[in-house]
């Protein structure tokens, strides 16, 4: 929940939501900002495992499993 709040405060909560038709894609800086925030909330071992992931939505989905 803290992650969602943090992303929402920055206006990039859609980074961890399923894409909907008509949604505006995140800009590259917003994309990397979302990744930075997500990585701050995960265990260091998971950071290393998903270090090469550059899509916040894909990272979020992988962390759900």
Number of helices (H), then strands (E), belonging to the chain: the values are: 4, 0
Q: What is the pLDDT of residue 1?
A: 85
Long-range CB pairs of 11-18, under 8 A, 24+ apart, other chains included: 15/56, 15/57, 15/60, 16/56, 16/57, 16/60, 17/57, 18/57
Condensed to tens digits (0 to 9), the pLDDT of residues 16-52 reads: 998 888 888 899 999 999 999 999 999 999 899 999 9
Q: What is the pLDDT of residue 19?
A: 83
**65 has pLDDT over 90:** no
Q: What is the pLDDT of residue 18?
A: 86
Q: What is the pLDDT of residue 22?
A: 85
Q: What is the pLDDT of residue 33?
A: 96
């Amino acid at each position: 929940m803290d992650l969602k709040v943090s992303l929402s405060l920055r206006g990039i909560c859609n980074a961890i939501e399923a894409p909907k038709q008509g949604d505006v894609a995140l800009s590259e800086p917003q994309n990397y900002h979302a990744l930075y925030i997500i990585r701050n909330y995960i265990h260091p071992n998971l950071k290393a495992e998903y270090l090469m992931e550059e899509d916040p939505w894909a990272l979020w989905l992988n962390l759900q499993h």
